[in-house]
Amino acid sequence: MGKVVRLYWGYMVAAALVVAWSQQWALSVIVALSLGVSVYAAFQVPVWCGAVNRDGQTYCRNNAYGVLMGCSKRQHRWQKLKMIVLRSKVGNVSRSVFPTAKEKFNGALAVGGLLSAVAAVIVPAVTGG
């Protein structure tokens, strides 16, 4: 049970974030939950590596942690982050970072967490609350 909680705690935090928004919890709690969800999805969620293999056409299917991180192979560790920065590789980012529906969901979870954190800070500033 402990291993399951350690691997998938971010989904529980995401559920708590939905409850926090619907129940209008304190701003600091919403920001903390939002950042927790984003960090979990970007760096800790169990996924496939998705880095481009040496043949240039297939993608690594080793286990990795986080949508932005690679597997234990040294070349794969930062390959996805490099593809985001290098202009010639931007077209491969979506196929590499999001090869399956699970990775697409986790990527949406990371972006949603960041948007939630931004909204939690901006909305009270704009509405005066």
The whole-model pTM stands at 0.72
Residue 17 has pLDDT above 80, yes or no: yes
pLDDT at 91: 56
Half-sphere exposure of residue 78: CA atoms within 13 angstroms, side-chain side? 3
How far separated are the first and last CA of the chain, in Å rounded? 41
pLDDT tens per residue across span 81-102: 776 666 555 556 666 666 677 7
Give the pLDDT of residue 41: 87
- 3 vs 59: CA distance, rounded Å: 27
Tokens of 52: 């481009």
Distance CA 62, CA 51 (A): 9
Least confident of 33-37, 39-43, 87-91, 104-108: 87-91
CA distance 89 to 84: 7
Helix H or strand E segment including 65: strand 63-65
Average pLDDT (46-60) is 84
| 59-82: pLDDT as tens digits | 888 988 887 778 888 888 777 777
Our measurement of the distance from residue 42's CA atom to the centroid of its chain's CA atoms, rounded to an integer in Å, reads: 3
Return the pLDDT at 50: 79
